[in-house]
Amino acid sequence: MSFDGVDDYVVAPDIGNLGNRFTVMGWVYKINSFSDRPIIFKGYKNTYRNYTFRVIERYSNYFDVGICSPVTEYYHSNISTFENNQWISFVLTYDGNSLRFYKNSNLVFQNNLNINLDPYNGFGVKIGGDNIDGQYLNALIDEIRIYNRPLSNDEIRAILK
């Protein structure tokens, strides 16, 4: 999928309630850098706690990630570099106790969190842009997968090799 950074985005139907466990993963090839550009999120908006999970580019050249309970956002900035002009795989997992992020199959972030995710029922998964906040990624995105459980390190490496 190709995203022009101007107005392109894809919305997938509501994937239902993930409970408190999920994996979201894919490949991204960023063409230009901006701030606050979603790669993928589920919810109403990409910002202000109105989502279940998100993976975004923030402040140019960093992956940021977040998950939300019904009352609190757990947001993590500058967790890994996000270079232009190369394919990078990313994986965000949550198992109810720990949030993990992998870049190119390597664990680069982990934080212990024990929360109930806000499912944002009725809202789809948006890829490459947020038409509510008018934020769009200029990139190629491929092989997005979402699971209702956290994949293991071995499973992640097997899928992304």
State which residue, 7 or 143, has the beta carbon closest to Ca ion.
Answer: 7
Would you call 39 exposed, middle or buried from its count of C-beta atoms within 10 A (0-12, 13-18, 19+)? buried
Question: Which residues, 57 to 96, sit near Ca ion by CB under 5 A?
Answer: none
User: Least distance (Å) from Ca ion to the CB of residue 74?
Assistant: 32
Q: Select 8 or 14, whichever has its Cβ closest to Ca ion.
A: 8
Which member of 2, 3, 5, 8 binds Ca ion (CB under 5 A)? 8
User: String of b and e for 49-68 (b: at least 16 CB within 10 Å)?
Assistant: bbbbbbbbbbeeebbbbbbb
Structure token pair of residue 10: 């894809």
Asked if 45 contacts 133 with a C-beta cutoff of 8 angstroms, the reply is yes
7 binds Ca ion (CB under 5 A): yes
Closest distance of CB 1 from Ca ion, Å: 12
Which lies closer to Ca ion via its Cβ, residue 53 or residue 136? Answer: 136
Contact region for Ca ion (CB under 5 A) — 6-14, 15-23, 59-67, 78-86? 6-14
SS3 category, 86: coil
